[in-house]
Each structure stands twice: as C-alpha cells, then as structure tokens.
Amino acid sequence: MKHKVTRAAGTGFTHLVLGGYTLLALFPILLVIINSVKSKDGIFDSPLSLPTAETWSLVGFEKVLAKSPFIHFFGNSLTVTLVSLVLILVLGAMAAWALSEYRFRGSKLLAIYMAFGIMVPIRLGTVSILELVVKLELTNTLTALILVYVAQGLPLAIMILGEFIQQVPKELKEAARCDGVGEFKIFFQIILPLIRPAVATVAVFTMVPIWNDLWFPLILAPGEETQTVTLGVQQFIGQYVTDWNAVLASLSLAVLPVLVMYVFASRQLIRGITAGAVK
Amino acid sequence: MKRAFPWHIAVFLAPAFLIYTVFSALPLLDTLRLGFFTTYDSGHQTFVGLANYIKLLTDPDWSAGFWNAMHNNIKFFLIVMFVQNPIALLLAALLSMHGVRGAKGYQTLIFLPTLLSVVIIGFIWQLILSPLWGVSEKLMGFVGLADWFQPWLGDESSALITLSLISVWQFVGVPMMLIYASLIAIPDEIIEAARIEGASSWHIFWTIRLPLILPTLGLVTILTFVGNFNAFDLIYAVKGAIAGPNYSTDLLGTFFYRTFFGYQSQIGSPTMGAAVATTMFLIILSGVGVYFYFIQRKLQRFAF
C-alpha cells in the first residue's frame, strides 16, 4: 500500500517536472504567435489572452509583407537549403561509399582529413572564405552560400552515411560484381536505395543549421536580393524595432515554416538522434 | 598484371574532396597563415611573425577587449554547462523511467526550440523581457514577485547571465536527447539485477546508470564547449556587434566580427581578424584534444 502511494507520488512528480518544462519551452513561441494576430492595443493591454473579435488584427502581417520582400527571402532560404542539402547528401554518400568500400593508399588519412571538419567550425576560416568569394566574384550570390554550406555539411554526412554503408551485407555487392555490374551502378542502384533511412536522418540534421544560419548570409550575401529569412528578419526588426505588430508578425512568419516542417519530420529526427547517439 | 587506375574511386571522392578542401580546409589553413601577416592601408600584406598575437595579448588597446571577451566566454560556457546539462540529465532520467506516459510527446515539444534560429529566439526573449511590454512582470506578479522584475538584458551585471540562460532554454533539448538515448540503451538485465538485490531507484541511478552514461556526458561537454566558444548569433541579434551594455556580453565570436569588419571609428583588419580566429581555433582544438586524448580514452576503458 505504502509502495503504491510513493509510486503515484513519483509519477505525479515526473509529470509535473516534464509538463512544467514543456510549458516553459512552448510558452515564448506561443506567446509571439498569439500576439502577432492582435491589434496594438490587444498586444499591450492583454498580452496573455487569446485574440478576441475585438483585438483580432492582421495588420502586422500586412506591414511585413508590404515593407519587406519576405516571400523573396523565403525563396532564397529555400533555394540555398535545398540545393545544399541535395549536394551534401549525394556527394557525401558517394565519398562515404568510396572511403568505406575501397582500400587504397591513404584512404585512412583521407577519412581523418574529411572528419576534421566535424569538430572545427568552418566559421573560423571566414577571413579567407570572404577573400576567396570576392576573388571568384561570388559576393552576394546564393552560390557562395551553397558552396560554403556544402563544405560545412559534408564531414558529418560522410561519417554518418559511412557507418550505414558498412552495414550493407557483403554478399549483395559480391553477387552484383560477379554478375558484372559496374561500380557506379552498384552504388546508385543498390547501395543508395538501401541507405535511404540514414539519408533522411542526415537530411534533417543538415537542413536546420543551414536554414537558421546568420553568420554567412551576413558576411557573404548581405544584399537585399540574396538575403535569407534569418538575415532578413534580423535586418527588418533592426529597422522597425518600435512597430510591435510588424516585429511579432515577422517573428511568426520565420517560426511557422519550421513548425510545419517539424510536424512532418519530428519522428524521423528524434529517431535519428536516438539511433545516432547509441553508436 | 598491372591494374588500371581506379577511376571510379576518384570520381566518387573528387567532388566532396574538392568542395571541402577549397571552401573549408584551405581557408582555415590560410587563416592560420594570415595571422602572421599585417595589412597596410594600401592593402599590402607583410609577414610580421607573432606581432599580431603579442598585440592581441599585451597591447592595452587590444588585450583589454580580448581578455574581456575571453572572460565572458568562459563565464557563458560555465553557466550553460552547469545549468543546461543538469537540467537535461534530470529531464532525460525522468523520460527514461519505465511507463512514463506521453514521453514521446514531451521529448518532441521540449526539442522544438532547438530547431528555431538563434536570431528568432533572441528577439522573442528580448520582447518577453522587455519592460515596455511587461509580460514578464505580469507573470511574476502571479506568484507575487512583480517587484523583483528588472530589465535584465539591459543591465551590465545581468545581461550576460540572461543571454546564457536564453541559450540554455533553447538548447537543453540536444543534451536531453543524447542522454536519454544512452540511458535507454542500458540493458534492462543490469537494472533488474540491481533491483532484485534491493537497490533503490535513486541508488541505481547514481551507482549504475550514471557511470554507464559518462561517455555521453563527455560528448555533451565537448559539444557545449565547441558551440559556446564559437557563439555569435545570439549576441549579435540581441545586442548587436557592440555587445553592450559596455561590452559586458562580448564573446570571442562578436570580438572576432568587430576585429575583422571594424566598428565605429576602428577600421576592420583581415589579418588581426585572422589572428583572433586562429586563437579561437587553438582554444577549440585544445578542448577537442583534451576530450579525445584523456576523457574519451579513459572512459572507454572504464566502460568495458
């Protein structure tokens, strides 16, 4: 009997802590979204309540969309993220395959060289990256961002994909080779489809830092034409800092795409982290 | 029989190798080289040996700013380390208990803020803590603490602590997930055996589960270290490149940015910037080195 009581108390405590922390994690985000659809009076008089018929207002969103090319920024972020992602996954998988499948002189050294970028932030090379980008006449282009993000994402992608490629049964490859199937065909038609779950995991991991980055857009592509959402919102808020409707709306616009993505990808992402960490 | 050159290997490797080398490895090496040069007003660069580093560490015009940023960065790291990771451990331990209903849901929601841009999070908290809006004051009023409210982000003595707590709030989900994953990977038999011996849950946690997840705690520590000694976005979004008030929130990342690009009256210098970046590189490298050569090796021996 006493045991049961302590247990119930324990469960209660567990849910109190977890629930409380969950509330703390969500509250700031919800607060911004709720207030982004209110009038200025609503925002200041009753920030904690849901919008009512009286306080409901989309004026913030109208202002943001009128004053800044938000949709354009969004397009830039989408282009940079998706192109970088595809390149990282395809080139990363190819390199991971080469490094884990073929034994050649210097293959170990090459693997260590590529892995170096996992721990050392690419940011530290910014002075020279900017020089290089200027020399190549790529300043204020999305291409510059894409190249840098691919270089940034490759090391981790190669490591994780390599681990999965090593788990592909030897017999599959040997059988294909006996049948005279070429190495490229083996990789693209047998290996790549087999490691699809790993590719999806790496995709989610790689996407988030690219989408959210402020540093490289700020330094390599600060022009209005090439601004990403993160930089665009940062600049917009700097300019309209006193216009609370516009600020809240721009924050909500930046948060919503990520929320939508998370609704679809959260299981994949969490499974990926859990699986990756156990290794 | 002479074997043909393995072209397929080269084709598989070349694109990744080239992009990584040209846009990551070489720029990093070139930055290390540039740190030994100085830039003249004409744009011409000359080799000056360790002069930049001596200037950075001893010249009063530079060293005050550098040591301030360094000091702040250590403080930032320590706060994150000793607030974020214990909270993460507590949450992970609760999540990994048997039969906690809705554990997946809690995980998913607590992890959510880590996916948002640091810039967005910075702005959101700036609004919430703003005395103009008064949301924090109102919330604190519910528990009778309204008088305790301060504009923490604007105060020199509390701005850095507030920013580091914002960072904790945002990223606690990452160590939580890593620790959770290693906790659920512990075989049930070990825990069962201890329980049959009569050990309490509390005892099992401290003497069995915690030692077994030490490698993960080591990993979490090094990830926190690398992330914090290279932080920039949060300070820049909330406080700008000047990292006010009075440089009290200046970290190595913002210091590097100002050195490289200049601010107010000071003209930016790529070579001084490279020297700062190299210093950051050495700090991060030594952290990673300590992790690999001592902690990782020792812990592995311990685990098996």
Q: For position A142, what pLDDT does the model report?
A: 96
Best of B127, B129, B171, B232 to disrupt the A interface by mutation (most A CBs within 10 Å)? B127
**C-alpha distance from residue B23 to each of A116, A123, A145 (Å):** 14, 11, 10
Residues of B in contact with A87 (CB under 8 A): 19
Residues of A in contact with B260 (CB under 8 A): 126-127
Q: Tell me, yes or no, whether B69 lies in a domain.
A: yes
Question: Among A197, A198, A201, which Cα is nearest to A162's?
Answer: A198
Record the pTM: 0.90
> What is the rounded CA–CA span in Å between residue A121 and residue A126?
10
Q: Tell me, yes or no, whether B21 lies in a domain.
A: no
Q: Tell me, yes or no, whether B25 lies in a domain.
A: no
Residues of B in contact with A192 (CB under 8 A): none
Q: For position A226, what pLDDT does the model report?
A: 93
- Does B216 sit within 8 Å of A277, measured CB to CB? yes
Q: What was the ipTM of the complex prediction?
A: 0.89
- Does B133 sit within 8 Å of A47, measured CB to CB? yes
Distance from CA of B58 to the nearest CA of A (A): 22
> What is the rounded CA–CA span in Å between residue A196 and residue A218?
34
Q: Tell me, yes or no, whether B217 lies in a domain.
A: yes
Report the chain B residue with the minimal C-alpha distance to residue A44. Answer: B133
Nearest CB to A212: which of B11, B118, B173?
A: B118
Report the chain B residue with the minimal C-alpha distance to residue A151. Answer: B20
> What is the rounded CA–CA span in Å between residue B247 and residue B259?
14
Residues of B in contact with A127 (CB under 8 A): 27, 30-31, 34, 260, 270, 273-274, 277
Q: Tell me, yes or no, whether B297 lies in a domain.
A: yes
- Does B133 sit within 8 Å of A244, measured CB to CB? yes
| Among A residues 21-40, those touching chain B with beta carbons less than 8 Å apart | 21-22, 24-26, 28-29, 31-32
- Does A95 sit within 8 Å of B17, measured CB to CB? yes
Question: Among B186, B173, B199, which Cα is nearest to B91's?
Answer: B173
Q: For position A107, what pLDDT does the model report?
A: 87
Q: For position A52, what pLDDT does the model report?
A: 83
- Cβ of A56 under 8 Å from any chain B Cβ? no
Distance from CA of A103 to the nearest CA of B (A): 10
| Among B residues 261-300, those touching chain A with beta carbons less than 8 Å apart | 270, 273-274, 277-278, 280-281, 284-285, 288
Distance from CA of B251 to the nearest CA of A (A): 14
Domain range for B136 is 51-303
Place of tokens 């904790």: B168
Residues of B in contact with A260 (CB under 8 A): none
The interaxial angle of helices B173-184 and B159-171, nearest 10 deg, is: 40
**How many CB atoms lie under 10 A from the CB of residue A190?**
15
Q: Tell me, yes or no, whether B30 lies in a domain.
A: no
Lowest mean pLDDT among A173-187, A232-246, B132-146: B132-146
Number of folded domains in chain B? Answer: 1
Question: Among A261, A248, A234, A25, which Cα is nearest to B117's?
Answer: A234
Question: Angle B112-B115-B117 (CA atoms, 0-180°, nearest 5)?
Answer: 125
Dihedral, CA of residue B265, residue B266, residue B267 and residue B269, to nearest 10: -170
Q: For position B144, what pLDDT does the model report?
A: 78
Nearest CB to A18: which of B27, B91, B222?
A: B91
Q: Tell me, yes or no, whether B226 lies in a domain.
A: yes
pLDDT tens digit at each of 304 positions of chain B: 456 678 888 999 999 999 999 999 999 999 999 999 988 877 788 898 898 999 999 998 889 999 999 999 999 999 999 999 999 999 999 998 877 888 889 999 999 999 999 999 999 999 899 888 878 888 888 887 877 788 888 888 899 999 999 999 999 999 999 999 889 888 888 888 888 888 888 888 888 889 889 888 988 999 999 999 999 999 999 998 888 788 999 999 999 999 998 887 778 889 999 999 999 999 999 999 988 887 766 655 554 4
Q: Tell me, yes or no, whether B140 lies in a domain.
A: yes
Distance from CA of A102 to the nearest CA of B (A): 7
Ordered by where they begin, the domains of chain A are 2-57 (no CATH), 62-278 (1.10.3720.10)
Q: For position A54, what pLDDT does the model report?
A: 82
Residues of B in contact with A24 (CB under 8 A): 169
> What is the rounded CA–CA span in Å between residue B45 and residue B37?
6
Inter-residue long-range contacts of B140-147, CB under 8 Å, 24+ positions, other chains counted: none
Average pLDDT rounded to a whole number, residues A38-44: 85
Question: Among A50, A210, A198, A217, which Cα is nearest to A133's?
Answer: A217
Using one digit for the tens of pLDDT, what is the confidence trace for A125-137? 999 999 999 999 9
- Cβ of A116 under 8 Å from any chain B Cβ? yes
Q: Residue B223 is part of a domain; what is its CATH number?
A: 1.10.3720.10
Residues of A in contact with B123 (CB under 8 A): 233, 237, 247, 251
